[in-house]
Every structure is written in structure tokens, then in C-alpha cells.
Copies of this chain bind each other. A is one copy, B any other.
């Protein structure tokens, strides 16, 4: 029997009865404090994927990080708010110590063979084989769960803010480490695997964290499976950092030029 991939182990949840699940944080995806946000997003999505009522493929999810998630067990409460012929709307809460520490809305949809059109082009990048992956050990544990091959915009930490500031953009090949077949769950986590753009721009650490994370999936399960274990080409950038909050925007592309995921997030920063 094959060993369970660390991602699958991290998002494993057990049913506590209708719409109630228990999970636990995984040391393999530990962040500065508590878990990497992407693994929390994937775990919440998993509660919908495993639900017997789920129809269709994931289309959109928004995760709100409203309290610090501590290492250890948590519970997920999920509810099918509305289900129709074309979409299902799910609402989820992540609870710890009797408090809501995360909420999510997830939309699944029936996806058929209709009009299809790309109005965007994959950023140019050398083949992943031509780029050396980031070395180990990494400054945060979850970073070691990915193979990052930077095309441009690798974040650096320095003692004083860059002068002039750097731009917010990063372009890189990303894959699960060890390799794992791509699916909506792994993409939900990879969508949050770009470091916070304020670090990229300024080069210094300061208290900050994602507040709300929105991810759109542009492919069916069968279409994603065609891309094997990836890697995917990821691009992230920010538009404005102002008055304690900043946005960032991302895309994930399959190697053949298919856009699989787009998304955005807003993060809080202290100074």
C-alpha cells in the first residue's frame, strides 16, 4: 500500500455526523504560528468534496481567517445553503476551543462542454527542468512541502527595507514535494503558496497575515488530472498596500498553457 501523501494526511478529516468533521493541523504544513493558510483552505474544501450531497466540481471558494488557528484538533461545520440544477452553495465554519476561527463559502457547479475561451496568455518562462528548486531547509516548514522554481521575483529578507522598493511580482514553477497528482484540493493550497507580497516589496518581516482568500477553479477534475503532478506556473502580484491592508492577485497555469486557477487575497499588516 502506498504511503499517504503529506497533503492528504494534513487535510484528512473524520465525519462526526451530518455536516460535522474533525481534523487536526499537520507539522508538515506549519507556518510561523499555526498552519499554512493554504492547507486550511484545502481542508475546508475537503469537507465539501467528501460530502455525499456534493454535486459538480469546485468553482469558487472564499476563506476568511478570523482567528488564529492553534496547532492541534479543530472541527468543521458545513452546510449546504442552496442547491440547484447548476450550482451548490456551501457555508463552512472552522471551530477551535468553541470559537469560530475561520469561515468559508464554497460554490460547486455542473460543468459541461460549452463555449470555451481564454482571454489571457500564460507568462513566458523557461522550462522547470532548467531552474534549480529552492534549497532546504526552508525558513518555514510548509515551504518544504513545495518545490519552488523561481523564474523571477524570488522574495528576499533583508535587515532594512529595499530602497527603492522592489515590485510585488513573482513568477515561479510550483509542485507538491513529494510529487502528488494535481486536483482541486492541491490547487486550493498552492493558490495560497505565494509569500505575502509586502515581504517581496519591502524585504523585511513585520506582523502580517491573510484576512480573506478567494480562489476560482477553471477546470474540471478530469481536466486537472491530465496535468499529472505538475508543476504549475504561478504568478502573483499586489496592486495597493495602504492603511494596514493590501491585496494580492494570482494565477496558476498548467504547463500546456491552460489557466487552471485565478484568485485574490487581502492581508493585514501592522506597519
A contact residues vs B (CB 8 Å cutoff): 59-60, 62, 64, 66-67, 81-82, 84, 86-87, 89, 91, 99-101, 103, 105, 107, 109-120, 165, 167-168, 197-198, 201-202, 211-212, 214, 216, 218-220, 223, 237-245, 247, 249, 251, 259, 262-264, 266, 268-271
Are A59 and B112 within 8 A (Cβ)?
no
Q: Which residue of B lies closest to A113 (CB)?
A: B243
Q: Once the chains are docked, how many angstroms separate the CA of A251 from the CA of B237?
A: 14
Q: In the complex, what residues of B have CB within 8 A of residue A263's CB?
A: 264
Are A211 and B87 within 8 A (Cβ)?
yes
Given A62-B105, A109-B245, A119-B240, 18 other A-B residues pairs in contact with their CB atoms under 8 A: A60-B212, A62-B62, A64-B81, A66-B81, A66-B87, A82-B99, A107-B211, A107-B212, A112-B244, A114-B269, A115-B202, A115-B271, A117-B242, A118-B241, A119-B237, A218-B239, A239-B259, A262-B264
Q: Once the chains are docked, how many angstroms separate the CA of A242 from the CA of B115?
A: 7
Are B211 and A59 within 8 A (Cβ)?
yes
Are A245 and B59 within 8 A (Cβ)?
yes
Given A117-B201, A218-B240, A251-B239; A212-B100 close (CB under 8 Å): no
Are B201 and A218 within 8 A (Cβ)?
no
A and B contact pairs by CB, cutoff 8 A, 8 listed: A60-B211, A81-B103, A107-B212, A114-B243, A114-B244, A119-B238, A216-B264, A219-B242
A158 CB, min distance to chain B CBs, angstroms: 15
Q: In the complex, what residues of B have CB within 8 A of residue A100's CB?
A: 81-82
Q: Once the chains are docked, how many angstroms separate the CA of A210 from the CA of B264?
A: 17
Are A266 and B59 within 8 A (Cβ)?
yes
